């Protein structure tokens, strides 16, 4: 029994970004067997560069079959075309997912949904245990929700669960997008993919704790026997030993804390604050360049007319959006004084 069958325990999907060899996939599965994950491994990798590893392709299906035969673990892989979907199901892969690149195009998602419906009708998908839908690379909650609805429609009446996988957008979490999804389709289990969300192996453990705090229903994590030599996503993969340690430390049952909405709102606020401070740092970098120019041209650092202009424009614009004049003045003054110091 895989842990997805155990009620009230987070779902765990773990394994390499890409299946690289039979030995690599089996070694990972054997090392993870004590936490009963769904063993993930990408076979058809949508890579941005043509001269990089594109995945083992069809021949890796036999490796995944070996995983199940030897360890009893169910397997999961990403599918991007109807042919891949059919091949994966015929080979006995139990879970398939739609990745971020495919998720960007609703026509592709609909084509996969329609194929899935046909395969279910013809009895070619009897081994299918679940379908996962990742968010696209850009922040678009309605697109993600729409893709989930397309798959839900395809599997309706077949008792096949559909799960959402939150993988962030270009290494930004976009907690707000996941919150919108939760609100729109509360019946859909939500999993966090901290590997693609952060792109950083160091961030996996803290993000798993965050997922528990925000009552995610599960995790999808990239695990490789020797991450540094991985053929794709080397910086974000963790070792099986690290995975077991993280899994052991996580709460075993899902907590539905009464302050859950507040926790989500704070996660969103922290993300906005990160962006705000990054923006302030960018402003200061520009200030330093302005300072250099002023020095070269012999112009005074402090230019009261320019500051008055900035302030007037900002008050006009932001009071319309509901901020008080005092707050706008205080923020403008603080930014201006720091800019002067940087110059």
Cβ proximity to ligand PEP, 138 vs 282, nearer residue:
138
For the CB of residue 141, give the shortest distance to ligand PEP in the complex, in Å.
16
Q: How far is the CB of 112 from ligand PEP (least distance, A)?
A: 14
How far CA 189 is from CA of 133, 182, 194, 239, in Å, comes to 11, 9, 16, 26
The answer to whether 227 touches 200, Cβ cutoff 8 Å, is no
Rg of the chain, C-alpha, whole Å: 24
What does 99 interact with, of ligand PEP, Mn ion, none (CB < 5 to 8 A by kind)? ligand PEP
Specify the residue, 17 or 116, whose C-beta has the smaller distance to Mn ion: 17
Complex with Mn ion: residue 2 or 233, whichever CB lies closer = 233
**Closest CB 15 distance from ligand PEP, rounded Å:** 10
> Which residues of the chain form contacts with Mn ion (CB under 5 A)?
17, 233
Angstrom CA distances, 245 to 93, 204, 205, 208, 239, stand at 27, 12, 9, 12, 10
Yes or no: say if 65 and 22 are a contact pair by the CB < 8 Å rule: no
Q: Which does 224 bind (CB under 5 to 8 A by kind): Mn ion, ligand PEP, none?
A: none
Q: Which is nearer to Mn ion, 140 or 233 (CB)?
A: 233
**Please, which residue, 17 or 125, has the CB nearer to Mn ion?**
17
Given ligand PEP, Mn ion, none, residue 36, with its beta carbon under 5 to 8 Å by kind, binds: none
Nearer Cβ to ligand PEP, position 150 or 287?
Answer: 150
CA 20 to chain centre: 22
CB of 70 to Mn ion, least distance (A): 24
Q: Which residues bind ligand PEP (CB under 6 A)?
A: 17, 42, 78, 99-101, 134, 167, 196
Instruction: Name the packing angle between helices 175-184 and 141-155 (round to 10°).
Output: 40
Report the partner that residue 217 touches, choosing among ligand PEP, Mn ion, none (CB closer than 5 to 8 A by kind): none
Which of ligand PEP, Mn ion, none binds 167 (CB below 5-8 Å, type-dependent)? ligand PEP
């Amino acid at each position: 029994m895989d842990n997805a069958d155990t009620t009230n325990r987070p779902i765990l999907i773990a394994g390499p970004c890409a299946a690289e060899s039979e030995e690599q996939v089996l070694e990972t599965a054997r090392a993870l067997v004590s936490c009963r994950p769904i063993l993930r491994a990408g076979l058809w990798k949508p890579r941005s560069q043509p001269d990089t590893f594109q995945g083992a392709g069809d021949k890796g299906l036999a490796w995944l079959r070996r995983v199940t035969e030897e360890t009893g673990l169910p397997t999961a892989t990403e599918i991007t075309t109807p042919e891949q979907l059919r091949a994966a199901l015929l080979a006995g892969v139990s879970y398939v997912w739609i990745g971020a690149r495919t998720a960007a195009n609703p026509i592709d998602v609909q084509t996969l949904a329609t194929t899935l419906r046909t395969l279910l009708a013809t009895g070619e998908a009897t081994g299918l245990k679940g379908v996962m839908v990742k968010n696209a690379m850009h922040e678009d909650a309605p697109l993600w929700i729409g893709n989930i609805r397309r798959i839900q429609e395809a599997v309706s009446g077949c008792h096949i669960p559909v799960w959402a996988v939150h993988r962030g957008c270009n290494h930004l979490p976009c907690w707000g997008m996941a919150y919108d999804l939760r609100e729109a389709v509360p019946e859909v289990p939500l999993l966090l993919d901290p590997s693609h969300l952060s792109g950083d192996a160091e961030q996996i453990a803290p993000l798993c704790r965050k997922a528990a705090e925000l009552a995610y229903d599960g995790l999808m994590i990239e695990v490789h026997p020797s991450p540094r030599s991985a053929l794709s996503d080397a910086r974000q993969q963790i070792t099986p030993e690290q995975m077991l340690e993280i899994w052991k430390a996580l709460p075993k049952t899902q907590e539905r804390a009464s302050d859950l909405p507040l926790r989500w709102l704070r996660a969103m606020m922290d993300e906005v604050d990160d962006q705000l401070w990054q923006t302030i740092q960018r402003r200061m970098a520009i200030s330093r360049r302005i300072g250099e120019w002023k020095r070269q041209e012999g112009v005074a650092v402090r230019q009261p007319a320019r500051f008055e202009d900035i302030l007037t424009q900002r008050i006009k614009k932001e009071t319309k959006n509901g901020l008080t004049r005092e707050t706008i003045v205080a923020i403008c003054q603080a930014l201006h004084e720091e800019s002067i110091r940087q110059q």
